[in-house]
Structure 1
Amino acid sequence: MPRDQSRPVVLIVEDEPLIRMEAVDMIEEVGFRTFDVGSADPAISLMEAHDDIGILFTDIDMPGSMDGLKLAAYVRKRWPTVSIVIASGAVDVETLDLPEGAYFFPKPYPTDQIARALEKVSDRCG
């Protein structure tokens, strides 16, 4: 599917390169443009440099200065209009302190559910 220039860009933050490539492919296949990085620090740098990023798609368990939950909380506070999608295979969603309005998906990624969630948040952004 061609990438829709009117949609917000999705920033994918995942430390495992193969999983990150799979996420990029999945999200680009449903028509979104993407940036991808392996940890929170470069994610924040990209957010500061690109005001077209409208969706953060992040893993939870990552190396670096903050994990995905802390990154999500930081993004929610600093860029409150950015939609947040969190995915993880190692946690129980019941115990998570998700930012308000964030979506959570277990790994392996439920591609069709994530695509629907991205469509929904994209509609809200536009």
Structure 2
Amino acid sequence: MPRVLYVEDDALLRMVTTIALEDAGYAVVEAHDGHQARRLLDEEGGFDFVISDISMPGGMSGVEVAQAAQAVRPGCRTILVSGYATAQLPPLPESVVYLGKPFRVQQLIDTLAGATGSPA
């Protein structure tokens, strides 16, 4: 079962999306900010995917989470999401996939499945 680290500061969105991802066949570990995500990456490291909001409280962005995920496990697929227009965002690493908010959960699942042919 593919493992996903899902980083989102909005608790309701995190809960709903986690349920949908689990129903689609993913094992999901949740983090509420970049610092918690970094700890989980260091402790558990073996994630196939990282999905992270770009802008979060606490001073660590989704871009930094994506960079940490690549450092821990090169090749880890990362999807960054944001409600901001791309022109308002910092430069994104070439290795990430960007998904604008609001998104349908099925779009996210399709993006994950397209990355490796994983369950959908």
TM-score, normalising length: structure 1: 0.80
Shift of 1:40: 1.0
Q: Deviations over 1:42-83 (max 9, x none)?
A: 111111222431100000110113111222123223422211
Q: Are residue 20 (structure 1) and residue 14 (structure 2) matched?
A: yes
Whole-Å separation in 2 of the counterparts to 1:34 and 1:19:
14
Q: For 2:50, which of 52, 56, 67 is the aligned residue? A: 56
Whole-Å separation in 2 of the counterparts to 1:11 and 1:41:
13
Whole-Å separation in 2 of the counterparts to 1:29 and 1:112:
11
Whole-Å separation in 1 of the counterparts to 2:30 and 2:14:
7
Alignment of 1:1-126 (within 5 A): 5=1, 8-92=2-86, 95-123=89-117
Tell me, which stretches of 5 or more residues in structure 1 are unaligned? none
Query: How many percent of aligned residue pairs carry the same amino acid?
Result: 26
Which AA in structure 1 matches 2:69? V
Q: SS at 2:48's partner residue?
A: strand
Name the Cα RMSD after superposition.
2.1
Which AA in structure 2 matches 1:13? V
| CA 1:112–1:118: 2 relative to 1, 3 Å | same
Whole-Å separation in 1 of the counterparts to 2:61 and 2:89:
15
TM-score, normalising length: structure 2: 0.84
